[in-house]
Amino acid sequence: MHNRLPSRTYPQPGLVYQAILVMDSRNVRTSLRREAQPRSNWSQLYQAGPYHLDLSLKWEECGPRLVGQVISRERISFEQARVYLKQDAVQIQIPLDLSGRFSLQLGPADHCNLELHIQGEVVCLDGLRLS
């Protein structure tokens, strides 16, 4: 379902959290991975308030796929939770599954903006680099 990305008017009294990068596999060098490649798979971990966001980019024949899971220190329901993605002119909205997981096929752009709406709270990840 294609919808417009919310215009940053959030439900009250919810909180808005800006995601902070905690770990990025693209910065890890091993003997098997000496230099970054523009089309390599990667994983990142973000922290935003009571949430952690585990993201992975996986390259498939049809292009990049962004796979994610929201992890919370508190017991919450993901029943009404949604992911909003904006990549160039494309805007996508999908639900998280009941475990807080999602998967999105991406276009060819180098970056995107991601928002997660969870029980009246919003997690923002702006300028996510895909390459």
Question: Per residue in 109-130, pLDDT tens?
Answer: 889 999 999 999 999 999 998 8
Is it the case that residue 36 has pLDDT exceeding 60?
no
Is it the case that residue 44 has pLDDT exceeding 60?
yes
> From CA 87, how far away is CA 85, in angstroms rounded?
6
Label residue 26 by pLDDT band (50, 70, 90).
confident
What secondary structure does DSSP assign to the chain, as a single string? ---PPP-S-PPTT--EEE-EEEEEGGG---SS--S--TT--EEEEEEETTEEEEEEEEEETTEEEEEEEEEESS----TT-EEEEEETTEEEEEE--TTSEEEEE--S-SEEEEEEEETTEEEEEEEEE--
What is the reported pLDDT for 117?
Answer: 96
What is the reported pLDDT for 35?
Answer: 53
Label residue 100 by pLDDT band (50, 70, 90).
very high
Work out the average pLDDT over 17-40: 73
The structure's pTM equals: 0.80
Cα angle 2-18-120, degrees, rounded to a multiple of 5: 60
What is the reported pLDDT for 3?
Answer: 42
Q: Using an 8 Å Cβ cutoff, are 90 and 2 in contact?
A: yes
Label residue 63 by pLDDT band (50, 70, 90).
confident
